[in-house]
Amino acid sequence: MLFERFLRKKTLMAALALTAAVPSVAKASMLSAAPTADGENQKLKPGVYYIVNDKRQKGTDLHVFVNDEGTLHGQHYSSPSTDFSDLFLLHAKDGRYTIQSLKNAKYVQSVGQNNEVYKTANDAYKFRIIYQTESSGTGKSYFNIYNSNAEEWCWHIDAQKDIVRWKPLMDNGIRAVGPSEFRFDPVTTLTNEQVLARLAQLTKVVDPTKDLTKYYQIVSDTYGRAMREDFIVGELSTSGFNSSDYSYYWKLEKLANGRYVFQNAVTGKYIVPQNGQTSRSYTTAEGKGTGFDLQRNTDDPYVLAFEMVDANNVGIHCAESQGYHPVGWYTHNEANKWVFKEVTLDPAKLKEQQDAYKTRVDLTKNVDVYAEKVAKYFT
């Protein structure tokens, strides 16, 4: 018996070693029409805007724009830009706003020093945008874009027309409308389809139901972690996306009941519905099952996010409290929102990983058989 257990352990170790050939890593509606707001006391809401200062250069509208290096500057445009450099998406949440460039789909970041130029990056920093009451009587609405709740440091267009951190200017102790105050002028020249197409071009985030022949990475909109099948432990997990590990790649299929199944590229298995159970990790199986109801989450009309609804108003949730594992939890929760990004794979590499997985499965299934046969040979 001891010899048989020894052989079984050795065989399992050999099977796990083969796993190295398959990389492993530990992490509805369309857009609403552009808002229109004229005159004073404009109420900001999610939309596409020009961010404009007309006080640095009197009588001239200087549009904030993003250059090729991702930094923010001011410039007068005599005609519309052709590269979306001065168009921004405003996302609203919990009294704060994130500002996303339509030039590169990245977000404006906070800065830590005065006179430091603002720039864009991947993280969605939340600014506080406050209506400037001194707009009264101007016929326009001006806003300060603050780094924090302190309402101290904010955007400012300097003499070089760079967008930098500075304080709002004062006039005899009264806050004045000047180079630190900006208008948000709604953009009305783009259709919803054009905005969505631009975002898809830059981010690869799409509606996956429109093309079921492609592979996608499924990414938590809240945490930015990509879903993969961790076939060693038999559950789904999430982490930073690894483009060379095809266990992060998924294909969708629509069932006759109108629901969708999600098939892993490497294992060929499908995510298993669990009848609305909460806090339980999702697993995969060879059978398709009854699938999931793929619902567009419209909390933010500028994010093409979906919820994968299982049953009883429970769907796949990226649980921070459970190591970011996909578990069952109630819908309309932030961590239930997922985005689908188009990915391209190498068929030869996919076959290599599929073959390595099948070899490992075969060895694992036959561990007991091999151990028993070898044990008998030596007894």
pLDDT tens, position by position, 286-343? 999 999 999 999 998 889 999 999 999 999 999 999 999 999 999 999 999 999 999 9
Does residue 371 lie in a domain region? no
Does residue 179 lie in a domain region? yes
Query: Do 109 and 204 share a domain, yes or no?
Result: no
Structure tokens at 359: 């070899």
Going by their DSSP bridges, the two strands 163-166 and 128-131 should be labelled as unpaired
For the chain, helix (H) and strand (E) counts, in that order, are 4, 27
Query: Do 175 and 90 share a domain, yes or no?
Result: yes
Distance between CA 24 and CA 304 in Å, rounded?
28
Distance between CA 186 and CA 184 in Å, rounded?
6
Does residue 117 lie in a domain region? yes
The neighbouring-strand residues paired with 184 are: 51
Contact 236, 326 (CB under 8 A): yes
State the pLDDT at residue 193: 79
Domain containing 151 equals: 47-189
Helix pair 2-18, 367-377: axis angle to 10 deg:
140
- CATH number, domain with residue 180: 2.80.10.50
Q: Please say which residue of 168, 189, 210 terminates a domain.
A: 189
Query: Do 208 and 345 share a domain, yes or no?
Result: yes
Output the CA torsion 138→99→46→57 (10° steps). 20
Query: Do 175 and 223 share a domain, yes or no?
Result: no
State the pLDDT at residue 301: 85
Query: Do 84 and 171 share a domain, yes or no?
Result: yes
Q: State pLDDT tens for residues 124-158.
A: 999 999 998 888 888 999 999 999 877 789 999 99
Does residue 74 lie in a domain region? yes
Query: Do 261 and 242 share a domain, yes or no?
Result: yes
Distance between CA 248 and CA 281 in Å, rounded?
17
State the pLDDT at residue 14: 41
Q: How far is CA 348 from the centre of its chain?
A: 29
State the pLDDT at residue 368: 61
Query: Do 171 and 234 share a domain, yes or no?
Result: no
Does residue 143 lie in a domain region? yes
Total domain count, the chain: 2
Query: Do 231 and 312 share a domain, yes or no?
Result: yes
Q: Residue 324's closest CA among 335, 338, 313, 308?
A: 335
Distance between CA 187 and CA 99 in Å, rounded?
14
State the pLDDT at residue 379: 53
Query: CA angle 346-350-353, nearest 5°?
Result: 140
State the pLDDT at residue 19: 41
Query: Do 200 and 59 share a domain, yes or no?
Result: no
Q: What is the pTM of this model?
A: 0.82
Query: Do 146 and 58 share a domain, yes or no?
Result: yes
Those residues whose C-beta lies under 8 Å from the C-beta of residue 3, and which sit 6 or more positions away, are 375, 378, 379
State the pLDDT at residue 21: 40
| Regions of the chain short of the pLDDT cut 50 | 1-38, 377-378
Distance between CA 85 and CA 89 in Å, rounded?
12
